[in-house]
Amino acid sequence: MVATSMLGSSALALPMLGMMIVTLLVWVFMFIQRIGFAQSHTLDIEQFKTPADVQALIPADLSGASNNFKNLFELPVIFYAICLYLIASGQVDSFYANCAWAFVVLRAVHSLIHCSYNKVAHRFGIYMLSGIALWVMVVRAFLAAL
């Protein structure tokens, strides 16, 4: 079953690129924080050889960006996969595009919370909403494939 209101592939390609930009920004922020911390504490870069070394050296209040960066390789991987599937199968429609943008915006908000004041209750609520947007896309695509 193919959706009736078909859009071009850019309707999902743009949210995918948006998610990549969110990942890039978190990555840059993480390295700015780490380099700043290492310089202000006169640490040798060789002290950061393993993830365990980094975790031992970086204080918990600076680990948000690193933890968030890891999160961006969990649900977003499924997001990229479902978007590519929908593009390849010609099922791109406004419902999927809206869900995709909701996912990206909510993940950006999640990243902002995680990299700043990091209140778990706020972060978790946003995480759940972004997950719902993603799983709705997946389940709808699955049902359409039956």
pLDDT digits (tens, 9 = 90+) for 18-27: 999 999 999 9
Secondary-structure class of domain 10-145 per CATH? mainly alpha
**Dist. CA 83–CA 77, nearest whole Å:** 10
Q: Give the CA distances from residue 77 to residues 19, 24, 34, 55, 57, in Å, rounded to whole numbers and listed in that order.
A: 10, 15, 25, 24, 29
Amino acid (one-letter) located at 72: L
Beta bridge partners of residue 6, listed in sequence order: 93
Closest listed residue to residue 29, CA positions, set 73, 64, 71, 61: 64
User: What are the residue ranges spanned by the domains of the chain?
Assistant: 10-145
Q: What is the pLDDT of residues 39-92, one digit of tens each?
A: 898 888 788 889 888 888 888 888 999 999 999 999 999 999 999 999 999 999
2 pLDDT above the threshold of 50: no
pTM above 0.85, yes or no: yes
Q: Give the CA distances from residue 14 to residues 5, 18, 74, in Å, rounded to whole numbers and listed in that order.
A: 18, 6, 20
**Dist. CA 109–CA 34, nearest whole Å:** 22
Calculate the average pLDDT of the chain. Answer: 93
Query: Around Cβ 37, how many Cβ atoms within 10 Å?
Result: 14
